[in-house]
Amino acid sequence: MSLIKIQVNTTNHKYPMYIGNNILNKFNKFLKNASINLNHCLIIADKNVPKKLIKEVLKSLPRYSTIIHYFNASEKNKNQNSVQKILSILLKKNFNRNDCLISIGGGITGDVSGFAASIYKRGLKFINIPTTLLSQVDSSIGGKTGINTPHGKNLIGSFYQPSLVISDINFLKSLPKREIVCGYGEVLKHALIKDKKFFLFLNKNGTNILRLKSPFIEKAIYQSCLIKKRVVEEDEKEMGVRKILNLGHTFAHAFEATLGYSRRLNHGEAVILGVKTAAKFSLINKNLNIKDFQIIENHLNKLNLSSDINKFFSIKDLNKILSFMKKDKKNNTKKINLILLKKIGTPIHKLEFNEKTITSFLQKELIQ
């Protein structure tokens, strides 16, 4: 695969994103192209990333003063304590605003690192090297950073764009299949909200993508990044159309929080479950036609990704799920904001529902 460059241009910031296979040895070249001069670096590295791949990054930083902080990435560790540990290192080593924080890991590592970078001296240079499919196609683009609290997921955070993103597909080869499935949930979401042609490509080549077969995995990553880039450029701070990127996420975040961020359901799996739930809710509320719903459901079944919420939850969990949905950051009134589908490739983002409507829907889904 040839090297791909995507330029993300938001209102206040521009940065390049590079996608390719075995491209870490070009790190210095990427820095130069992005006009980034490094002196002092703090690397936040997910403990799950193979050490040999972290060494590839270090080889590209021979003349810099580099510190490595290993982070045990999990939803439970995506918290203020983890951010404080990073800030303490930066403060003790007297990092200045021309120095840099580099994240090497998945979406959790990137979110925690990016948030720390955004609040240290009101903004430290931030480079993201996403190592999971989910982070390469979604969380590394757009500048959302944040941490979880007992009240819900990602309720504390900031919008802070990186200076550079490097997505090396070689990282994906070290991942278990479950992590690839996790990322596929976001790939599918992008197709459903913006590009029916891309969805048809996924429907035809989903198995090859999940097996990381070339050129299918490359196209899936590239098309996903293009979709998110265009949405982010139109609405950087989620005041309007960017909300469509949350298709399935209001349900998904509530599912994760209700399970206490258990390994039983990771974020991408929750997104797939949430997307299916949102599609079903769209059907019940006569937004989505039965034909498109069945196409989505058949796609999930074909790839063995389909699941029902009653496999994870019972009716006794209903109030807890609703409580987290009501705390979702997209809500501006007492009603619950949901992103739904009108048809494959066409979302609806200005819909609010009262608790009674959602309660009735979830009750039926939980007792099936």
Give 62's pLDDT tier (boundaries 50, 70, 90). Answer: low
Write the burial class of residue 343 (CB in 10 Å: 0-12 exposed, 13-18 middle, 19+ buried): middle
Within this chain, do residues 114 and 183 fall inside the same structural domain, yes or no?
no
- Give the max Cα distance, the chain: 61
The parent domain of residue 131 ranges over 4-174
> What is the pLDDT confidence band of residue 56, given thresholds at 50, 70 and 90?
confident
pLDDT exceeds 90 at position 2: no
Q: Give the total number of structural domains in the chain.
A: 2
Domain boundary pick from 174, 199, 216: 174
DSSP-assigned states of every residue in 275-313: HHHHHHHHHHTTSS-HHHHHHHHHHHHHTT----GGGT-
Give pLDDT tens digits for 204-261. Answer: 999 999 999 989 999 999 999 999 999 999 999 888 899 999 999 999 999 999 999 9
226 and 162 part of one domain: no
CB atoms within 10 A of CB 59: 12
Q: What is the pLDDT of residue 325?
A: 96
pLDDT recorded at residue 1: 56
Average pLDDT of the residues of the chain: 93
Residue 90: the pLDDT is 97
Cα–Cα distance, 285 to 277 (Å, whole number): 12
Catalogue the E-assigned strands of 86-151.
Answer: 100-105, 125-130, 144-149
Please identify, among 159, 174, 189, the residue that sits at the C-terminal boundary of a domain: 174
Looking at residue 301, its pLDDT comes to 95
Q: Which residue has the higher pLDDT, 119 or 153?
A: 119
84 pLDDT band (50/70/90 cuts)? very high
pTM given for the model: 0.92
Q: Note whether 157 and 193 are same-domain residues.
A: no
Do 354 and 229 lie in a common domain?
A: yes
What are the pLDDT digits (tens) for 154-173?
999 999 999 999 999 999 99
Q: Are residues 185 and 170 in the same domain?
A: no
Q: In this predicted structure, what is the pLDDT of residue 306?
A: 79
* CA–CA distance, 339 with 275 (Å, rounded to integer): 10
What does the alpha-carbon distance between residue 240 and residue 348 come to, in Å, rounded to a whole number?
11
Q: Which of 202, 203, 240, 231 is nearest to 348 (CA)?
A: 240
Q: Which two tokens stand for residue 66?
A: 């580099």
| pLDDT of res. 318 | 97
CATH code for position 154: 3.40.50.1970
For 282-338, the pLDDT digits (tens) are: 999 999 999 999 999 999 999 999 788 999 999 999 999 999 999 988 888 889 999
**Can you give the pLDDT at residue 108?**
95
Which residues are bridge partners to 251 per DSSP?
Answer: none
Number of neighbouring beta carbons within 10 Å of residue 82: 24
Q: Which among 174, 190, 208 is the end of a domain? A: 174
Q: What is the pLDDT of residue 61?
A: 77
